Amino acid sequence: MKRSHSCPVIIGMLAVTLAGCSSSGPEEIRQWMDQTKKETKPFVPKLPEPKAYTPFVYEAGKDVDPFSPSKLAVAIAKWQANSKGVRPNLDRRREPLEEFPLDTIKMVGALRKPGLSYAILQVDKMVFQVKAGNYLGQNFGMITSVTDDAVDIKEVVQDASGEWVERKARLELQESK
């Protein structure tokens, strides 16, 4: 076996390097840290001035209190006045075409008799004969007029505030292809 001459050289260099590191002791490091602390000046930005508070003045004291009984009485009177106007007739017997939404009903024809016009309406595979005054659709729709090419309808629906309003709709004759 041959021994290498480089091993003692490496050990010697390692010892010299370690000896050089030990020459600066902990005292030298502490002095450097103290010096760095003295020289370093921290920068803290100046805080903005707070906004001036301006109080809100409530000047509605002279108005009617929204929770007062008089305000409630006015609202009830308005509701009763409107309720006497447009309303669906809930006491009448419902007709067969009121089971279907208006967009599923098609006008497929019209008939005329002396003094009276009828419309032929189709829902799925069922056919119905209707005239002015009949009801259809799920929104309390009443037929107001029948012509050769259309059926005019007046529906009674609730708006966003819950009040009943009238809305017009129309079924037009469907051309067969």
Residue scoring higher pLDDT (53 or 25): 53
pLDDT of amino acid 16: 62
Q: pTM to 2 decimals? A: 0.53
pLDDT, tens only, 81-124: 665 567 888 889 999 999 999 999 999 999 998 889 999 999 99
pLDDT of amino acid 104: 93
pLDDT, tens only, 31-88: 999 998 888 888 889 999 999 999 888 777 677 677 778 777 777 777 666 655 678 8
Strands 164-172 and 150-158: antiparallel
pLDDT, tens only, 126-163: 999 999 999 999 999 999 999 999 999 999 998 887 77
Cα angle value 148/150/154 (rounded, 5°): 135
Write down all domains in the chain, each with its CATH number in brackets. Answer: 96-172 (2.30.30.830)
Q: How far apart are CA 148 and CA 157, in angstroms?
A: 27
| Confidence check: pLDDT of 173 > 60 | yes
pLDDT of amino acid 96: 93
pLDDT of amino acid 72: 76
pLDDT of amino acid 154: 95
